[in-house]
């Protein structure tokens, strides 16, 4: 099945505005379930709406034709000492039927390009120490391991 999906994929990635919110609500809910949270679509919608309305995050969605199949969400990270604004790639999710087809990489590329356009120095993220698929994706995308602990690994990529 995955092979037939890959052959017919009409992939595009776009930054969403508040009017596009419904494109990512169900994906965000699935993302939370992946991290062992209870499904709650209303909570997912409320949370994402607040982020967008308050300009607290930037969200990109991957579409197959017009169907949402993945998303990433970035949050600003400020440094007073360096007097700069960078970005944390906090969420990345691709529907399980579309994984291993380069969609996560396309979303990461969109996030990195956005950070470059905003004159950031780096994009940072963290992932669970046992999430080997994500670690492979981040490392193959150029992220460098910064600091592992018992539960999470921090990665960073310079974008300037």
pLDDT of res. 128: 87
pLDDT of res. 49: 98
Q: Residue 63 burial by CB count (10 A; 0-12/13-18/19+): exposed, middle or buried?
A: middle
pTM exceeds 0.95: no
Q: What is the mean pLDDT of each run of 10 residues along the chain (160 residues)?
A: 59 96 98 94 98 97 96 95 93 94 96 96 93 93 86 92
pLDDT of res. 7: 57
Q: Could you state, in order of their start, the residue ranges of all structural domains in the chain?
A: 2-158
Q: Enter the CATH code of domain 2-158.
A: 3.40.630.30
pLDDT of res. 8: 76
pLDDT of res. 151: 84
pLDDT of res. 3: 45
């Amino acid at each position: 099945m995955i092979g037939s999906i890959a052959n017919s994929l009409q992939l595009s990635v776009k930054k969403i505005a508040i009017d596009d919110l419904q494109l990512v609500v169900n994906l965000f809910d699935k993302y939370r379930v992946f991290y062992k949270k209870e499904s709650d679509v209303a909570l997912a919608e409320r949370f994402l709406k607040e982020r967008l309305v308050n300009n607290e995050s930037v969200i990109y969605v991957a579409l197959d034709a017009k169907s949402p199949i993945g998303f990433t969400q970035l949050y600003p990270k400020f440094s007073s000492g360096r007097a700069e604004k960078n970005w944390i790639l906090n969420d990345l999710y691709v529907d399980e039927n579309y994984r291993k087809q380069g969609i996560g990489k396309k979303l990461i590329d969109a996030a990195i390009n956005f950070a470059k356009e905003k004159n950031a120095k780096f994009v940072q993220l963290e992932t669970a120490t046992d999430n080997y698929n994500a670690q492979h994706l981040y490392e193959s995308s150029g992220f460098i391991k910064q600091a592992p602990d018992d539960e999470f690994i921090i990665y960073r990529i310079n974008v300037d």
